[in-house]
Amino acid sequence: MASTAPGSRELSLMDKQIRNLLEICLHSHLYSINLHCNHISKIEGLGHLCYLQHLDLSSILITKTEGLDSLTCLQSLNLSCNKLTWVEGLGKLFNLKKLNLSYNSIQDLNGE
């Protein structure tokens, strides 16, 4: 099980064979998390990260964008190189300035 030190503000767990976000004890004051290239199939366990500004979920093989709507401070979200065909649940991310959806199979962005 991975965890973050109380004073840490950035966390990089790239290519660590993580399969489930609930395996990681994430400190609530993190502002940046990089989970690039893991084996995570579902986004969960991030709701308490009220200060999170940057999140990299690229190349983790997710098929849905659920579980992100409570991250209202998020400014940068990388969802590239996944298996997304549809994007939803990002409507409450009012501070989002960068969204990377490249290399997915998204057919339609209807703005909802």
Nearest to 77 by CA among 38, 36, 21: 36
**CATH number, domain at 7?**
3.80.10.10
Q: Note the Cα 99 to chain centre separation in Å.
A: 11
Q: Which domain range does residue 106 map to?
A: 1-112
| pLDDT band at 8; cut points 50, 70, 90 | confident
At 13-70, the pLDDT tens digits run: 999 999 999 999 999 999 999 999 999 999 999 999 999 999 999 999 999 999 999 9
pTM value? 0.90
Per-residue pLDDT averaged across 78-95, rounded?
A: 95
The tokens for 60 are 């983790």
Domain count, the chain: 1
Query: Closest by alpha carbon to 103, among 63, 68, 59?
Result: 59
Q: Which has more pLDDT, 109 or 88? A: 88
